[in-house]
Structure 1
Amino acid sequence: MWKDKESMKFSIITLGCKVNAYESQYYAGQLEELGYEQVSPEKACDICIINTCTVTNTAASKSRQKIHYAKRMNPNALCVVVGCFVQCASEEERKALDADLIVGAKQKNELVNLIQQALKDHEKIDVVHEVTQFKDFEAMPVHCFESMHRAFLKVQDGCNQFCSYCAIPFARGRERSLNHEQVIQIAKDLCDKGHTEIVLTGIHTGRYFDGEYDLAKLMKALLENTPDYVYYRISSIEITEVSDELIGLMQENSRMCHHLHIPVQSACNETLKRMNRPYTIEQFKEKIEYIRSCIPDISISTDVIAGFVQESDEEFETTYKNLAELELSFFHVFPYSKRNGTKASTLKGEINGKIAKARVARLLELSNECRKRDMQRFNPVQVLIERQQDGYYTGYTNQYHPCKILSDTSISGRITFEWQRIEDGTYYGKKD
């Protein structure tokens, strides 16, 4: 039922985190190198890839829905299901999906070879290993990104932290990192392709470790081995991993963008304890103050979970008050969603959905206020132009605030401009 590869089309549906998005980009690049054509999931294709998530029960349910959707849209296509959801699913659950190829969290770098094998043999393949077997980092280098300016580089996978609400250690296994020499070579390749900003990403990026190379030493080596016009970001990092060496590097080298995304998850000690987070809110605040004392123009954003199990009104108000005092640049806010198999799923005292939704709304309103206040600190701003859309040149500043710029002449790359107004969390201005 499947055609020869020369005429084949494929689609990818990606759920979950930025690491999943990175890995989907890798799959697409590998297939395109072989002559396959990517199309949107709504169009007819010969290979449907669903890159799944399992971080919550809702995410797992959405993964199942997208698998069924893909099969319904293209019933004769090769159905490929990959990632965290199938890694955590039982053998019976995987069989019930009726997919042609299933790949868990190991051998994802071999996905395209497995697709070719499935096409050739016309047999169903299930490649799901126990997470205890995940010892080596599987390199999945992406050498070119659509924006042609910002690129992502996955340097780490897995997590040892075991927060009580999170299934990631069960889905991706223990921490492992890409060899530092490979990281540097991939970064050089990205620079050769014209990328001028590289974002280091991973499941627990701050835990990067390869021999004597921690994240700070890796970053120093990247700065030394790539051109002066190439800037760097860290996608996300835990407060306990922002080392003095990393702060010093950000102080000394302007090519390190002055933005850190540091998940807090809750700003109340009682809630943090139930979450099994490795700090108190006082420790979090103290470290944020120290980072700012060293790098005054830094912007720090965060993640927050609202409505965690047993979160009382008093606990939520403590979180709200502390977040308001921290004056972070913006929050990603999520309502707590149960995930079977985690410690939190065994706790009693789930919060009513309407209450959790109302708490999310309050935190998002506070986030909007914080973003506007943080954005007003900077003018002019330095921004990396990524694309032209709806008549505007769009991009993000070094502090990771979005910009929309009008210009009568073509603009690209990293520019400096003065904004005229802030609207809906975006800088607007005109470049002469």
Structure 2
Amino acid sequence: MIKTVSFRTLGCRLNHSESDSIQYDLNQRGLKTVSCLERADLTIINSCAVTRQAEAKTRGAIAASRRISPDGKIAVIGCGSHFSPDKLMSISGVDLVLGNCEKYKLYEYLPVLESDEKRIFVSSVNECGTFSPIGVVSSGSRTRAFMKIQDGCDYWCSYCIIPFLRGKSRSRKMEECIEEAKLLSDKGFKEIVLTGVNIGTYKSANGANICDLIENLLVLTEIERIRISSIEPDLLSDRLIYLMKTEKRVCRHFHIPLQHSSDEILKSMHRKYCIKDFEELIYNVYREIPEVCIGTDVLVGFPGESEENFVEMYRFLEKLPFSYLHVFRFSPRLGTIASKLKDDVLSNEKKRRSSILRDLGCYKKQSFLNRFLDKTVTVLFEKRIKNKYLIGHT
């Protein structure tokens, strides 16, 4: 009988939010959560499929789980399961594969696991409904919690597999978001991170947008800090910038994906902005909120990216006031438009370019951190390392 469960969560903040939700649901039903480093009757791996590297990490997580709990069951859920269920089921040790629609009902599949029958349950993302059915409350022990407000995406960037795996954009009811924020505050959480696939498209049933939601959270809850996860540049409004500038409880932090600095490549990626507009947006945010932390995503090795394109991107990233960079190497995802383009940048060249940009990102991050030397700031501590150091977020 399954009594203990552990989690290994890969990928984005949304995955972490969903793992918290599933964990809470299982705990409410009597299952005990243990560390992924301890033996467990069931290990749940919440997978990612955004890149080939993410798929490799899922395989690594499966192998690690088998070593720690050789007699335990393994269930793989999430985007990786939705992308390649048969491939995952073929891996030794995997007992259950659930897609993005089924993972919220994981408890209902425990009898399948206990019957020793290996099964795959993956339905179309169009059957996922309006929103996840779990009344989620983060079950983590951190001082901040990820709160899912939106799922799916209608942008269809040419390199991205996520719309195939998450479905159309859909938003959570605002009253449900407010209720969860209140519960999180009561549980002792000081900060909530608003998460989703494309949160800038948030639109509640009553027509409320992301700014309306934040304003209501500020008025109707006592949560001390609200942080916004990644938001697309074409959806970052003056109103949202003003909210961050004027409301002390809104963290001075934007993550605004760039992907590339070439207009030609941006067009091939099916992005919704030109580089001039992006640059003006970043400088505008920085002018309005000088202390802001601005991060971005960049994708190297996209089909057609020349050495000249790469050098231009380096110079563009170097001059803009970014605080950190998330660098990814292009890998074709089956079914996407970009997978039909000639992958003409060699693998070693992709590694070289990504390494150069990661070094730049480290420099920018350190430069940003140096701005806080000799300053007193408020920190929410999340964990202690070796009983000596505390780690947290400002």
Give the TM-score taking structure 1 as reference length: 0.83
Instruction: Specify the alignment match of 1:54 in structure 2.
Output: 49
Instruction: Specify the alignment match of 1:392 in structure 2.
Output: 389
- 1:319 is the counterpart of 2:313: yes
Instruction: Give the superposition deviation at 1:65.
Output: 4.8
Q: Is the alpha carbon distance of 1:292 and 1:42 closer, same or farther for their aligned partners in structure 2, counting shifts above 3 Å?
A: closer
Q: Is the alpha carbon distance of 1:190 and 1:364 closer, same or farther for their aligned partners in structure 2, counting shifts above 3 Å?
A: same
Q: CA offsets, 1:166-222, max 9 Å, x none? A: 110111111111111000000000001111111101111111111321100000000
Q: Identify the match of residue 164 of structure 2 among 144, 149, 170.
A: 170
The answer on whether the counterparts of 1:60 and 1:85 sit within 8 Å (CA) in structure 2 is: yes
**3-state SS of 1:233 partner:** strand
Instruction: Give the superposition deviation at 1:162.
Output: 1.2
Instruction: Specify the alignment match of 1:292 in structure 2.
Output: 286
Q: Is the alpha carbon distance of 1:309 and 1:101 closer, same or farther for their aligned partners in structure 2, counting shifts above 3 Å?
A: same
The answer on whether the counterparts of 1:139 and 1:178 sit within 8 Å (CA) in structure 2 is: no
**Residue type matched to 1:343 in 2?**
I
Matches within 5 A, 1:287-366: 287-366=281-360
Deviating more after overlay: 253-262 vs 332-341: 332-341
Instruction: Give the superposition deviation at 1:66.
Output: 3.6
The answer on whether the counterparts of 1:136 and 1:176 sit within 8 Å (CA) in structure 2 is: yes
Instruction: Specify the alignment match of 1:39 in structure 2.
Output: 34
Q: 1:279 & 1:327 partners in 2: Cα distance?
A: 19
The answer on whether the counterparts of 1:264 and 1:302 sit within 8 Å (CA) in structure 2 is: yes
Q: 1:374 & 1:61 partners in 2: Cα distance?
A: 32
Matches within 5 A, 1:13-412: 13-41=8-36, 43-67=38-62, 70-71=65-66, 74=69, 76-89=71-84, 92-93=86-87, 96-97=90-91, 99-115=94-110, 117-119=111-113, 123-140=117-134, 141-147=136-142, 149-210=143-204, 211-227=206-222, 230-378=224-372, 379-390=375-386, 391-397=388-394
Q: 2:6 & 2:191 partners in 1: Cα distance?
A: 27
**Residue type matched to 1:203 in 2?**
V
Give the TM-score taking structure 2 as reference length: 0.91
The answer on whether the counterparts of 1:263 and 1:303 sit within 8 Å (CA) in structure 2 is: yes
Q: Is the alpha carbon distance of 1:62 and 1:150 closer, same or farther for their aligned partners in structure 2, counting shifts above 3 Å?
A: closer
Task: Give the aligned length.
Answer: 388
Instruction: Give the superposition deviation at 1:284.
Output: 0.4
**Residue type matched to 2:220 in 1?**
N
Q: Is the alpha carbon distance of 1:69 and 1:191 closer, same or farther for their aligned partners in structure 2, counting shifts above 3 Å?
A: closer
Q: 1:11 & 1:393 partners in 2: Cα distance?
A: 25
Unpaired runs of at least 5, structure 1: 398-432
**Residue type matched to 1:38 in 2?**
T
Q: 1:284 & 1:175 partners in 2: Cα distance?
A: 23
**Residue type matched to 2:379 in 1?**
V
**3-state SS of 1:153 partner:** strand
The answer on whether the counterparts of 1:143 and 1:189 sit within 8 Å (CA) in structure 2 is: no
Q: Is the alpha carbon distance of 1:74 and 1:375 closer, same or farther for their aligned partners in structure 2, counting shifts above 3 Å?
A: closer
Q: 2:87 & 2:144 partners in 1: Cα distance?
A: 38
**Residue type matched to 2:20 in 1?**
Q
Higher fraction of strand? 1
**3-state SS of 2:378 partner:** strand
Q: 1:144 & 1:67 partners in 2: Cα distance?
A: 23
Unpaired runs of at least 5, structure 2: none
Q: CA offsets, 1:347-368, max 9 Å, x none? A: 1143122221221222122222
Instruction: Give the superposition deviation at 1:109.
Output: 1.8
Q: Which has the larger radius of gyration?
A: 1
Instruction: Give the superposition deviation at 1:124.
Output: 4.3
Instruction: Give the superposition deviation at 1:305.
Output: 1.4
Q: CA offsets, 1:75-107, max 9 Å, x none? A: 5433312111221236x5465357433210103
Q: 1:383 & 1:70 partners in 2: Cα distance?
A: 34
The answer on whether the counterparts of 2:137 and 2:183 sit within 8 Å (CA) in structure 1 is: no
Q: Is the alpha carbon distance of 1:255 and 1:47 closer, same or farther for their aligned partners in structure 2, counting shifts above 3 Å?
A: same
Alpha-carbon RMSD: 2.2
Q: 1:73 & 1:194 partners in 2: Cα distance?
A: 32
**3-state SS of 2:379 partner:** strand
**3-state SS of 1:102 partner:** strand
**3-state SS of 1:22 partner:** helix
**3-state SS of 2:149 partner:** strand
**Residue type matched to 2:193 in 1?**
V
